[in-house]
């Protein structure tokens, strides 16, 4: 079977959206998820590290699970910092070049993050232990729901082999 050619990026406008979003996801995973994972520094408003202060401000206002992460949550942030973060760059490159081999890894990523973030993390944030429960859903959801919805859209985009041979 012959591989259908990939359409040029100009003919795949939704893929440009994915490139932008996953570039932003890379940046946010390096800024926020690396703090509890790499630095292991407690989040505090008076930290000398500006990234720690930014993370503290976010977590204090709407994400107590992120403010005082249990060990399992540090595993989640570690996945984001060391697995998802680099994958975002590979994904953006593959989308840009129209490389269809990204099809299966993209499905694996989208499925994993949807389950981990959408089910486990959101489950704890809304139905878990009181000390980790989100007190401000109106602030939490706009900042975190894209990390579940965009991978779900990617899953739809990658639903068939050779995703870049069609517009969507």
**In which residue ranges of the chain is pLDDT below 50?**
none
- The label of the residue with tokens 């709407």 reads 62
- Put residue 69 in one of left, alpha, beta given phi > 0 → left and psi -120 to 50 → alpha: beta
For residue 1, what pLDDT is reported? 62
The reported pLDDT for the residue numbered 88 is 98
Other Cβ atoms within 10 Å of 92 Cβ, number = 20
State the Cα torsion 78-26-134-76 to the nearest 10°. -20
Domain boundaries, the chain: 9-165
pLDDT of residue 100: 95
d(CA 45, CA 33): 17
Q: What pLDDT sits at residue 40? A: 66
Nearest Cα residue to 89 out of 11, 18, 154: 18
- pLDDT at position 68, please? 84
Distance CA 50, CA 134 (A): 24
User: What is the signed CA dihedral for 74, 49, 134, 154, rounded to 10 degrees?
Assistant: -60
- pLDDT at residue 111 in the model: 96
- Residue 31 burial class via C-beta count within 10 angstroms: exposed 0-12, middle 13-18, buried 19 and up: middle
Cβ count near 30 (within 10 Å): 17
The pLDDT value given to residue 35: 79
pLDDT given for residue 34 in this prediction: 83
């Amino acid at each position: 079977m012959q591989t259908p050619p990939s359409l040029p990026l100009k003919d795949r406008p939704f893929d440009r959206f994915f490139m932008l979003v996953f570039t932003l996801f890379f940046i946010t995973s390096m800024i926020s998820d690396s703090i509890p994972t790499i630095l292991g520094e407690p989040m505090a408003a008076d930290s000398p590290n500006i990234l720690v202060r930014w993370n503290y401000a976010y977590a204090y206002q709407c994400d107590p699970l992120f403010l005082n992460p249990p060990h399992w949550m540090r595993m989640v942030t570690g996945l984001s910092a060391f697995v998802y973060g680099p994958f975002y760059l590979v994904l953006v490159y593959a989308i840009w070049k129209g490389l269809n081999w990204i099809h299966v890894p993209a499905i694996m990523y989208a499925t994993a993050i949807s389950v981990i973030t959408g089910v486990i993390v959101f489950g704890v944030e809304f139905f878990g232990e009181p000390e980790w429960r989100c007190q401000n859903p109106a602030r939490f959801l706009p900042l975190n729901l894209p990390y579940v919805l965009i991978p779900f859209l990617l899953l739809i985009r990658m639903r068939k082999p050779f995703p870049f041979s069609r517009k969507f």
